[in-house]
Amino acid sequence: MNLRQSLSLASLLLTLAILGWIWTSDQALDLALSNTALTNNRNTPDFIITQLKSQQFDEQGALKYTLRAQQLNHYPNGIAQITVPLLNFSDHAADNPWQITALTGQVNDLNHQVRLQQQVQLTQPFAATAQAWQMSTDDLAIDLDQAWVTTNRPVLLRHASGAMESQGMRSNLKTHQIELLNHVRGHYAPQ
């Protein structure tokens, strides 16, 4: 083999080695970019629903609750952000459902928990008597399965006969029991 053939073969092997290095580096860069895109997709909804209406029924086929929202953005981690939610809990025994509204909220797919925030209102708009309460707070946690609502934030409860303020509240929407937790103040004016 002469010198010219040896140099040609050496330069061909060097070119192939450089191209192989570039190709594997490009593959590694593509993989890194792909992993970055997957990581960033956690902040991107996997689906969006507008004008949502979702109903949940119990084992006997009776309506438990209805959730409506202007928009639901669902994320891969099982959390959904909702805007302008309206949640109605049915109460077949008393025939006066609880209605909960807010500006924003989150729904957790895994444990059926809802957290509503900003101008949260809890009312019984269809109550036949003047005994209905209206509650206001800025943050409310809701257990959809047990129909419990809780907050550790300030709460204002209004009634036809008066009003009460509290730092925190727990309520069972099935039994209509309300527990005010701390610093309770109120006034009552019998009619």
Give the pair of three-digit tokens for residue 158.
Answer: 């209004």
pTM as predicted: 0.71
Give the pair of three-digit tokens for residue 106.
Answer: 């989150």
Q: What is the pLDDT of residue 62?
A: 84
CA atoms of 188 and 64, how far apart (whole Å): 33
Q: What is the pLDDT of residue 42?
A: 64
Give the pair of three-digit tokens for residue 98.
Answer: 């609880």
Q: What is the pLDDT of residue 30?
A: 54
Q: What is the pLDDT of residue 44?
A: 87
CA atoms of 25 and 19, how far apart (whole Å): 10
pLDDT tens digits for 125-177?
A: 555 555 677 899 999 999 988 889 999 999 998 887 888 899 999 988 888 78
Q: Does domain 45-188 have CATH number 2.60.450.10?
A: yes
Q: What is the distance, to the nearest Å, from the Cα of residue 14 to the centroid of all Cα atoms in its chain?
A: 58
Q: What is the pLDDT of residue 36?
A: 46
pLDDT < 70 stretches in the chain:
1-42, 91-96, 125-131, 191
Domain limits, the chain: 3-42, 45-188
Rounded to 5°, the CA angle 66-177-132 comes to 70
SS3 category, 18: helix
SS3 category, 116: strand
